[in-house]
Amino acid sequence: MSRETIKILYFRDTDKLCGPGKTIINTFRTIDKGRFSIVLSSGVADGRTQNPFLEHAKEAGMIVEPVIMKGFFDIRAIFRLAAIMRKHRIQILQTHDPQTRRIGVFAAWLAGVPHIASLHGWIQNRFKQKLGVRLDQFLIRFSRGVIVMSETMKKQVVSMGVPGSKIVVLHNAILLEDYPTMTFTQKVREEYGIGKDEKVVAIIGRLSAEKGLDVFIEMASRISRDYQKVKFLIVGDGPLLSECMRKVADLELQGRVIFTGHRNDINDIYGAIDVLAITSFTEGLPNVLLEAFANGKPVVATKVGGIPEIVSHGTNGFLVEPGGIGELVHHVVRLLDNKNLAVEMGQNGRKTVEERLNFWDRTSKLEKVYESIAMGRS
């Protein structure tokens, strides 16, 4: 086989460094650069130049190419993306969300480049999102390969008519050198006036309907009735911020529930907390779960998406049914009351990452996918 460098274009429509964005940048950091070259594109509004996601990528050393995109389906963006592929002599296009798939499938055909669809989960809170997901589920059938985050998602994609031979399961992973073990820091606690003797339970992620934030707030209300020395962090930003703040006020939880907004110092957040709660109704495989494990923090999470493939109930965390507030309260309180149990689960979570979810191993598997596609095989 020729040792010519395989040139890949990643296309994701976001301006935030979220979980999939971290996966993209860490793939670039760990890939064999003598064998593979990655260019990153992201959609930007006409006249807007700032994109924090692309800025983070540039700081990591990536070549970035913004693509002006307007509305649900921008025909001109197809030609812009095809021109970028020709400019960099791209051999594989990999899209990372439904928005970029609507453009990427046609641009790849126009440029004569094979397309890989990378699926991180689907959000269907609004009609427009539901329409986009239905279209996406149709478009992925035209991909040369489909990368999914979990075995659960693979089954879902097969049920849509995509041949199993096209699908590769690559669990999200952690670049361990970015995460010191068993962190504990007072920085965030001091910032928000949290006492050294207080426990902290957090939820981390986009504040949107699928994350089950009302469940988290109700859990905080119930635990607060009997536990005075517990604080609850809601870390992130999103469309439900105002609604969540109203619910906290209605339940008279001001001072007990703290909204931090979006934070870039995520390790300091993990260093301040005792338990991570994931109350989502739908997920792919959330990076926050792996980050908590890498930081030696126990997790209570819902049985959705790929979470049960990583969380072993009673060993490295607890699993609950979506919307199961009683279960959630019970297991969070167990971890707050039993420090030894919390530490043991945190240690087991770290082992899970070290043994099963090392990013270098993930990239090695991904390289084989690229080589296969470049050689003309699915």
Residues 14-29 have a mean pLDDT of 87
Whether 265 and 364 map to the same domain: the answer is: no
**Helix H or strand E segment including 219:** helix 213-226
166, 180: one domain: no
pLDDT band of residue 21 (cuts 50, 70, 90) is confident
158 Cβ contact list (under 8 Å, min separation 6):
164, 167
Q: Are 31 and 21 in contact (CB under 8 A)?
A: no
Output the pLDDT for position 296: 93
- What is the rounded CA–CA span in Å between residue 332 and residue 300? 7
> Could you tell me if 303 and 224 lie in one domain?
yes
Is 161 a domain residue?
Answer: yes
- pLDDT category of residue 128 using cuts at 50, 70 and 90: low
Instruction: Specify if 245 maps to a domain.
Output: yes
Q: What confidence tier does 1 reach under pLDDT thresholds 50, 70, 90?
A: very low
Asked whether residue 49 falls in the same domain as residue 154, the answer is yes
Instruction: Assess whether 253 and 199 both reside in one domain.
Output: yes
Same-domain status, 218 and 350: yes
Same domain, 345 and 229: yes
- Summarised one tens digit per residue, pLDDT across range 257-311 is 999 998 888 889 999 999 999 999 999 899 999 999 999 999 999 999 999 999 9
Tell whether 44 and 116 lie within a shared domain: yes
Q: Which domain holds residue 348?
A: 176-356
Co-location of 207 and 302 in the same domain: yes
pLDDT in tens, 88-106: 999 999 999 888 999 999 9
Asked if 305 and 365 sit in the same domain, the reply is no
* Mean pLDDT estimate for the chain: 91
* Same-domain pairing of 29 and 48: yes
SS3 22: helix
What's the CATH number where 62 sits? 3.40.50.2000
Q: Report the share of the chain in percent with pLDDT over 90.
A: 71
For residue 328, the model assigns a pLDDT of: 97
Q: How many domains does the chain have?
A: 2
CA dist 274 and 296 (Å) reads 10
Checking if the pLDDT of 183 tops 70, the result is no
In a domain, 1, yes or no: no
Judgement on whether residues 21 and 154 belong to the same structural domain of the protein = yes
